[in-house]
Amino acid sequence: MAGLTTLRGKVAGMNRVNVDTDQIIPKQFLKRTEKTGFGQYLFYDWRFLADGTPNPEFELNRPENQGASILVANDNFGCGSSREHAPWALQDYGIQVVIAPSFADIFHQNCLKNGMLPVVLKEEEVHYLLEKAKSASYELTVSVEDKTIKDAEGFQAEFPLSAYWQKMLINGWDEIELTLQMDDQIKRYEDSLI
């Protein structure tokens, strides 16, 4: 996995609370056996009308949100099902960073495991960004090293990120490989069970 240190990108806003993973990637698209190709189905039931044409009302279909790599959302983003297809779909669509006042636990974890960054900011900061995101040219710079988010107009916010995940993201490390190096310790634990 490629490392993630800093990212500068366009921002799309989605001012909805409790966006569940059934909306992010509806169940009829979970039958694939690969990790790729889910972007076309992202937010399918919101993004497309019954006849398959794009719903012009939906946030990601608006002209100002085209080409966004940063999504700003509201409370409890990614709640519900544990399907990792949700971050896969966001990533495949082009979203690398999601900002919200809070995330559901499993979704939060699933993002990190795929080199995506879930950013928790204060409610007033998120509301500021949701307003700003209405402009087509609005961009943010996200630094994993400094744990900060900045715009070109003087906005700056720090976000929490554990030292562990900071290191994992920056280096793009394979977590399984690291754990396998601890095989002796796992073996010792297993021996103690008998």
Chain residues that interact with other proteins, rule: CB under 8 A: 15-18, 20, 22-23, 26-28, 30-35, 45, 50, 74-76, 79-84, 87, 102, 104-106, 109-110, 113-114, 162-164, 175-177, 179-180, 182, 185-186, 189-190
Task: Name the residue among 2, 179, 124, 150 with its Cα closest to residue 70.
Answer: 150
Determine the Cα–Cα distance for residues 83 and 55; give it in Å rounded to an integer: 25
- Helices 105-113 & 85-93 angle (0-180, nearest 10): 50
| Residue 31 CB, nearest approach to other proteins (Å) | 4
| Residue 155 CB, nearest approach to other proteins (Å) | 22
Contact 105, 76 (CB under 8 A): no
Closer to other proteins by CB, 10 or 81: give it: 81
Handedness of CA 175, 178, 181, 185 (dihedral sign): negative
| Residue 159 CB, nearest approach to other proteins (Å) | 16
| Residue 24 CB, nearest approach to other proteins (Å) | 11
| Residue 33 CB, nearest approach to other proteins (Å) | 4
Token duo for residue 71: 């999504």
Closer to other proteins by CB, 10 or 125: give it: 125
Which strand (E) or helix (H) includes residue 126? helix 123-132
Closer to other proteins by CB, 17 or 152: give it: 17
Closer to other proteins by CB, 10 or 77: give it: 77
Task: Name the residue among 113, 116, 121, 112 with its Cα closest to residue 96.
Answer: 116
Closer to other proteins by CB, 67 or 172: give it: 172
